[in-house]
Amino acid sequence: VPLDYDRPDGKKISLTVSRSRATSPEERQGALVFNPGGPGASSMEFPLYGALAKWRKTARSYDFVGYAPRGVGRSAPLSCQDPKKFAKSPTDSPRYPGEEYKREKLAEAEEYARGCARNAGADLPFYNSVNNARDLDMLRAALGEEKLTFMGASYGTYFGALYATLFPGHVRRMIFDSVVNPDPDHVWYRNNLDQSIAFERRWDDWARWVAAHHSVYRLGTTVAQVRRAYDTVAEKLRRAPLNGKIGPGQLQGAFLKTGYNDAYWPSRAAALSAYLHGDPQPLITQASPHPENAKAAENGNAVYTAVECNDAAWPRDWRTWDRDNTEAARLAPFETWDNVWMNLPCAFWPDRSESAAAGIGAVAGEAADRAAARDGRDGRAGRAGRDEAADATGEQLAAAAGHATATGIDSALNPRRPLDVRTAPGALPPVLLLAAERDAATPYPGALELQRRLPGASLVTENGAGTHGVAFGDNDCVNRYVEAYLLDGKVPGERVYCAARPEPVADAHAQHKPKKK
């Protein structure tokens, strides 16, 4: 696909794609393309879902198509930092950070943004949501599909909505599962503030469930007592990291998953209880870093950062971030500041010329290093050697500069206002939105906003539930609507509601990971 769609004959990048054929050729309706979100997530494993019970009927009628979006995996991969540095542990996670800690995180964020620019150079601005939507249309064409059948979850709903806005005539069926708020005034800074508030509600949901099962977990009979138990563990780990690798940051990362999926509730409660009662092993199992995954994790984070920073203008003044998030943390201390640190590189994000210059500088530096190393090996630093290095450097600089010049007028307008997602009445076939009422990662108002912008869309709400990613999960009511839509094109009314899935069963020895759908 073109790196820059305003210059379709320019530089190309390759996307990796996976596919399984419909298991019943006579029932085949086409290809179903899936994106699980992120930004930075891959759906390369999606073809395997066809063997799972809840997907089996859909797999009879559709090829299952997964892919790694631009920047992810082997699809023109991005990297902003050495993976070992990215995955360093133990780390802290203060709920109310002091000024010195904030200064440290500001410096880290600025260096991370510079790393993205150094590594990607002039290509960096083209990793954005609009280009993800354009890539999706290229994938549709490559599959030989006249019109697209697409299921996007989480962030996948956002660039899916961009696709619907840009290519309404190419849409066959679309499912938006756990919907990002597409309002340009929310993308992405305001969305992250909303997310922090929503995670606090989910943290209370988990604590309330644990308190109701005090006889199993012995962590307290009230939300406040359960939260204090967690804070006690965090403080213990701050003073003495578990196994030398698990600090408050790793604890936070493990327990954040309780906000994404109820299936984590029993195992996390069991680990917290075991640690406080003298057995650290469950917490070691659940919160330990995985160095073998560091490269993939850093890649995913690099893509997340690049896409969100490129999509919209972010506040450049730290005082704005500090003011807004100090206020948010008064109400929602659980995730607010960690959310800030994850997104703070956007405050230092380079513009197009800065990223191009950084990339050219990196090329020059690498060439000089190679020349110095070669001179050292040969035991000489003669004029001929220097001239050879200069020639090689000149060629690479010319190539990099040429590409930077070619992108002077391009599809990467940074800073810019996000595309206004909306379609005219009748422009789209019926589409289906799914949302859990207490979803933290994509708060429920986002689904209402997208429905308003896509006239004729149907919204299925899972009342009182908060698991992120609703389709083909543990709610049979929701699954029936999804299946009817994919197989028969049937949509319910404008808005329909399903009762929440059953809460998980308390288990003092739970260690399982949530099963695949």
Residues carrying an active site annotation = 154, 439, 468
Residue in this structure with the two tokens 């699980």, named with its chain if needed: 36
Residues in the chain: 517
- Report d(CA 380, CA 41) in Å as an integer: 48
- Report d(CA 290, CA 299) in Å as an integer: 15
- Report d(CA 416, CA 155) in Å as an integer: 19
The total of other beta-carbon atoms located within 10 Å of residue 382's CB is 10
Q: What CA–CA distances, in Å, run from 299 to 11, 68, 75, 105, 116?
A: 21, 12, 11, 20, 11
- Report d(CA 489, CA 484) in Å as an integer: 7
CB 198 within 8 A of CB 440: yes
Give the orientation angle of helix 248-260 with respect to helix 336-343, to 10 degrees: 100
- Report d(CA 50, CA 145) in Å as an integer: 20
The tokens for 179 are 């919907």
Q: How, if at all, do strands 458-462 and 495-498 pair? A: parallel
Task: Please measure the distance between the N-terminal and C-terminal CA atoms of the chain and give it in whole angstroms.
Answer: 31
Of 92, 94, 86, which Cα lies nearest the Cα of 337? 94
The tokens for 471 are 């389709």
- Give the largest CA-CA distance in the chain: 80
- Report d(CA 225, CA 227) in Å as an integer: 5
Q: In the chain, count of helices (H) and strands (E)?
A: 18, 8
Give the orientation angle of helix 99-120 with respect to helix 336-343, to 10 degrees: 30
- Report d(CA 394, CA 234) in Å as an integer: 53
